[in-house]
Structure formats: structure tokens, C-alpha cells
Amino acid sequence: MLLSSDLRRQNMKLGAHYQLLFPSQGSKTMSFGNDFGWLHYTWIDVGTPNVSFLVALDAGSDLLWVPCDCVQCAPLSAGYYSSLDRDLNEYNPSVSSTSKHLSCSHQLCESGPNCKNPKQPCPYTISYFSENTSSSGLLIEDTLHLASGSDNTSSAFVQAPIIIGCGMRQSGGYLDGVAPDGLMGLGLGEIAVPSILAKAGLVRNSFSLCFNEDDSGRIFFGDLGPATQQSASFLPLAGTYKTYVVGVEACCIGNSCLKQTSFKALIDSGTSFTFLPNEVYEKIAKEFDRHVNATRSSYEGSPWQYCYKSSTQELREVPSVTLMFPLNNSFVVYNPAFMIYGNQGVIGFCLAIQPVDGDIGTIGQNFMTGHRMVFDRENMKLGWSHSECQDLSDGKRMPLNSPPNGTPSNSLPTNERQNATGGHAVAPAVAGRAPSKPSAASTPLILSRFSLLRMLPALLLVFNFLLDLRADSGIV
């Protein structure tokens, strides 16, 4: 063990083998809006021969799982989803020549102490914040197919040994349109893909997510971000780094910064929208309302309290939300609103923030849009810069862009898209680990099957619960 550890340390000193890694089908991510819980997804290839899966990207949990030897899984036929043009796949470990069961004696088998025999396959059960949402099955070792790219090397394909959850049984949101083909946990746990890739010396211990306003995006493993990016340190909770939490010093609406609006926030791509502690939310919402020159309104099925009647021409007046961090670092959300569409286009908008109890909020995917978000796990920092999410694999860089002017060029999908033939309403996802287990999705939106996220107090990662969490667990 000491020799293995020394070799690993020496390999890291020599530098990572690749500057960047990304899924073998490309670095691109995509969002299907209401069809798939408003999360971002990417195609990955697993096993030998390789099989493709459309997995949700969740920085709030750790495990990569896919539907496998299904007892209870979501429908995988493209005909069930209005946004897909091909069927989704089910993983079968017995067909992959590179798969083997993780035994109960393995250090990453969380359920090991409860196994009757240390040589038996390791079972897992992961519960998510969304009510009654979970995945369970067996842990498998197999190959994840990746591609490399950098300024100095030509593209090459990489077969990286990883751990996969063979998800035999899903429940809740996972049966109803959220992550029907699996989920990739990107958290800090040892079982997470970024952790495994870095520990193997394949890339630096960092990754980036970039979400664009046109529902496209990028994911890169090993990306430390540009030197010009702003940053904030991750904070430990209960003395341990369990997940990506930062400390916000103050909040501003437009040019007006508010007193007593500091809070801790979980940075989570697996949560569709943003949630702030009650007291902070009330101050921000009231100041936002003071800046908006539009008539208050309400829209059926909307979870948001501050909604307004408006037209496309009036959207220029929607104020920005700025989160202030130490050393005068600022994270600017130029479009904090969710657009409401009618037959003639935009008819209104809502401040896309909800209140939660406690002192820990969640910066969700909607606030990340337009930014290259760098999860620098080597230096335990979050980095960010404005970006249109260009491809880094051909040696190009994601340039900094000037702040957008006027009306946002794109909004979340329209009612027409949401109500496409064969489509169905699903809840925005809520990622992050649930008490004594992990995370998941759920809150229908502009459509009728909406329910408020009353389960979100759990999302606060209460310190008492954190004391019981295992460091190597995870998911959305």
C-alpha cells in the first residue's frame, strides 16, 4: 500500500498524463428543458463493446449509475420522450468483457460491513433530495471511454477504469423523466469520476461545466480554468469537505447591494433552479420588486412568488443579481428570471429563486448559465468566468465575454416546446445528497403537474446530518 501510494504521488508530481479529458462522443452537454427535469446531460460510452448512455450531470452527488439488469427502471424507448431521436440503453455487465463486480471487501463499498460475505457483490442504495427518489443495485468496475485534447497533443481515446452503479431499481423522479438513462455524480467522494481520473494520474484534479443560454454546454475533466477567472474557496462543513459549498458575503440587485445578505451556498448542477435562505430571499425579492417596472401577476403552476406581466420589449428592465465573495470577487447573474410564454411570445417573467429554511442555499443550474464553472479540487476553489462554452479540445480557449446587453438572447424552453406531442411534464431536478444517503430531482414547473419543493429543508445539508455522511458517497 505504501509503495502504491508513493508511486501515485510521484506520478502526480510528474504531471497529469492528459491536459483535458471528455466523453468519447464529445464534450458537448445539452438540456431538454421540461422533458428531462431542466438538467444538463451528456452522452457517455461504457463497457466493452461500448454502450451509450445519456446521463444527467450532478455536482451534488458522487456515484455514476445507469439503468442495468432492470427490475424497475424508467422507459427507455425514444417514443416516450418528445426530445429524443433514438432509444436509450440498458447496461448489462455480463455482456461487457471489461466488467467485474465490486466486492464487499473493496474500500469503496459503503455497504461492506453489512454484507454476509466479503466476496459477494457490493450493493448500493442512494436516496436523493427529491421525495421518494432513489437508485439501488450493485457496484461494477468497468471502462469509461474518454477522449483527450490539449494545445500540444492530438486527440486520443482513453479507456479509464471507473466504478458504475448497476441501477436495477429506481424510484420517484427517476421513473418520471428525470435522468431516465442514468446520472453522473461529480462530487468530492472517492467513487466520483473526477476523483478516480485524478487519482489515476490521468488529469489534474479539477473539472469544468459550462452551460449556454441556447441549452448547449461543455464538460471537461482536468480543466483548471483561465488565469483571469474569479474564484472563491470551498468551505468545510462540520470540519470536512463533503460537497461544493462557498460563502457569499453580500447580494446586490442591479447596483444596489443589500446589508445582512451573507449565506453559505451549495454549488450544484443537479439542482435546476436557485434557492436562498428565507431572510436573504426576502431582502433580495423585495429589492428586485422595487427595481422592476412591471405589474405583479401570478401564473398557474409557477413555484415562484415574484412574477410579473411583461413583453419581450420590456425585458431590458429585469435587474441583474450579483453575489459578492471575498477579495471583491463577484458572480453576476444577468438573467435571474424565468420567462413565461403565451401564444404570442413572452407574456411575463418570474424571479427564479425560491426560499428555504436554514442558512445554506443552493446556486442551481439556472444561475450557472453563461459561465464556465471550474471545480478546482486541487486548490479547493470554485472558479468562474463569462463564456459561450466553446470547445477546448482543439486547443482553443473559452474566451471571456463582455456582459450581455439588453434582452437575454435565449430563455428556457417555451410552452410550445414543453407541450410537444408525446411530451410530458416533469419536475425541475433537485440534486444533492439526502440525509444519510444521496441526491435527486423534482418540481414540475409551468405545466399542471407542479408541486412545491417542500422537501428542500433537507437540501440545507444540516450539520447534524453531515456528521453522519460518509465521505465517499454521492448523487443528483
Residue tagged active-site, from 45, 62, 142, 268: 268
pLDDT tops 50 at residue 442: no
Give residue 172's Cα distance to chain centre.
18
Give me 375's grid cell.
471545480
What sign results for the dihedral spanned by CA atoms 136, 239, 189, 129?
A: positive
Q: What is the pTM of this model?
A: 0.82
Distance, in Å, from the CA atom of 452 to the CA atom of 302, rounded to the nearest integer, reads 9
pLDDT tops 80 at residue 272: yes
Q: 29-38, 213-222, 321-330: which has the minimum mean pLDDT?
A: 29-38
Instruction: Report the mean per-residue pLDDT for the chain.
Output: 81
Sequence spans of domains, the chain: 2-205, 230-468
Q: Are 90 and 75 contacting, i.e. CB atoms less than 8 angstroms apart?
A: no
Residue tagged active-site, from 35, 45, 58, 176: 58
Give me 20's grid cell.
483535458
DSSP at 98: T
pLDDT of residue 33: 85
Tallying the residues shown for the chain, one arrives at 476
Q: What is the average pLDDT across 100-129?
A: 92
Give residue 252's Cα distance to chain centre.
25
Domains 2-205 and 230-468 share a fold: yes
Q: Are 165 and 124 contacting, i.e. CB atoms less than 8 angstroms apart?
A: yes
Give me 252's grid cell.
446586490
pLDDT tops 50 at residue 172: yes
pLDDT of residue 390: 83
Place of cell 479547493: 380
Catalytic-residue membership of 223: no
pLDDT tops 70 at residue 295: yes
Q: What is the average pLDDT across 150-176?
A: 86
pLDDT tops 80 at residue 193: yes
Rounded alpha-carbon distances, angstroms, from residue 208 to 31, 172, 220, 376 = 17, 29, 5, 8
Q: What is the average pLDDT across 16-33?
A: 93
Q: What is the average pLDDT across 259-287?
A: 95
Catalytic-residue membership of 215: no
pLDDT of residue 3: 54
Rounded alpha-carbon distances, angstroms, from residue 234 to 173, 379, 446 = 29, 9, 34
Percent of the chain scoring above 90 in pLDDT: 64
Q: 53-67, 110-124, 384-398: which has the minimum mean pLDDT?
A: 384-398
pLDDT of residue 468: 43
Q: Work out the pLDDT band at 271, boundaries 50, 70, 90.
A: very high
Q: Are 37 and 426 contacting, i.e. CB atoms less than 8 angstroms apart?
A: yes
Give residue 435's Cα distance to chain centre.
19
At 165 the three-state DSSP class reads: strand
Domain 2-205 in this protein, CATH class? mainly beta
CATH of 230-468, one of 2.10.60.10, 3.40.50.300, 2.40.70.10, 3.50.30.50: 2.40.70.10
pLDDT of residue 474: 44
